[in-house]
Structure 1
Amino acid sequence: MAIEKRKERNESGMDIYTPFKEMQRMIDRLFEEFPYEWPTLSKSIDEVIAPMDIFETDKGYEIEAEVPGMSKDDIEVNVSDRVLTIKGEKTDERKEEKKGARILERSYGTFERSFTLPDDADPEKIEAKYENGVLKLVIPKRPESKSKKVKIEIK
């Protein structure tokens, strides 16, 4: 049995390792560009995150946004050209004085999230409710968009 040297090129003359070399370069570039610092718990302006859950029901859509520490006056909800925008600004200031020590802490931040509404959503009838740090939006579907079941006669 003869030992045959491994071919470095395929039938077209291309180096068989080229796709793998390119993939390695892409992975290296991904890690080079990856952020060196992970977000911390202390958020500065424009870094407040409002986690949101979106649900579809038979009657419409629901969005629940977690915005703890804000009041309903700190939050603004708008719809323009079928784009729903939720934005808010958090300002928190705490002062404490104990046994001659004075502590003053401030945190500020804003957030903005936008969603394109589905074609069957009715932006004119959106309802918003804020309670216990959760903003809940109910976006009804248009009545004409609800699917009808039609029986088709087979001939």
Structure 2
Amino acid sequence: MGEPTESTVGGVPGTAMPTRTPLADVTNADDGYQVDVEFPGMKGKDIDVEVSGQELVVSGEIKERGHKVILRRGTRHTGRSEYRMRLPGEVNTEGVKAQMSDGVLTVTVSTTEAAKPVTS
């Protein structure tokens, strides 16, 4: 099994919309990968998880909040966040699971039988 390759380049292909790349941890095991992606302030229903071939894309958007008074200082992130990575080897696109807890989305991606290491 090779190493996963992540993209930290912001931007949605085909648009001029800038994005933020969220922090993530990637763990691999004999049966696949676990990717923990930080999406503080987002709900699970606002996050999309896509696996196409060997590419995993996790994205979401925090809408700008309407303020009834003048905002003097704003440092909280609003807008699109996107995390992309290329998984080494074939993955089971039907076996992708995602669960949100405390602002962290945990995505589990299983590898296909052909991509699993052979043990003797």
- Where does residue 112 of structure 2 map in the other structure? 142
Among 98, 102, 122, which residue is 2:92 paired with? Answer: 122
In the comparison of the two structures, how many residue pairs are matched? 101
Matched, 1:46 2:21: no
- Where does residue 12 of structure 1 map in the other structure? none
Looking at both structures, which has the greater relative contact order when contacts are Cα pairs under 8 Å and sequence separation is at least 6?
A: 2
Q: Percent identity?
A: 28
How far did residue 121 of structure 1 move?
2.6
- Where does residue 5 of structure 2 map in the other structure? none
Q: Distance in 1 between matches of 2:19 and 2:113?
A: 39
How far did residue 147 of structure 1 move?
3.1
**What SS does the corresponding residue of 1:124 show, helix, strand or coil?**
strand
User: 1:125 is aligned with what amino acid?
Assistant: G
Matched, 1:81 2:53: yes
Q: Would you tell me which structure has more strand in proportion to its own residues?
A: 2
User: Unpaired runs of 5+ in structure 2?
Assistant: 1-16
Matched, 1:58 2:35: no
**What SS does the corresponding residue of 1:63 show, helix, strand or coil?**
strand
> Quick check: 1:93–1:104 contact (8 Å CA) kept in 2?
no
Go from structure 1 to structure 2 and tell me whether the alpha carbon gap of 1:86 and 1:149 turns closer, same or farther (over 3 Å shift): closer
User: 2:102 is aligned with what amino acid?
Assistant: N
> Which one has a bigger Cα radius of gyration?
1
Q: Distance in 1 between matches of 2:38 and 2:99?
A: 12
State the Cα RMSD in Å: 2.5
Q: Would you tell me which structure has more helix in proportion to its own residues?
A: 1
Map Cα deviations across residues 52-110 of structure 1 (whole Å, 9 max, x no partner).
110112221100000001111221111223211111111142646xxxxx455886311
Go from structure 1 to structure 2 and tell me whether the alpha carbon gap of 1:91 and 1:116 turns closer, same or farther (over 3 Å shift): same
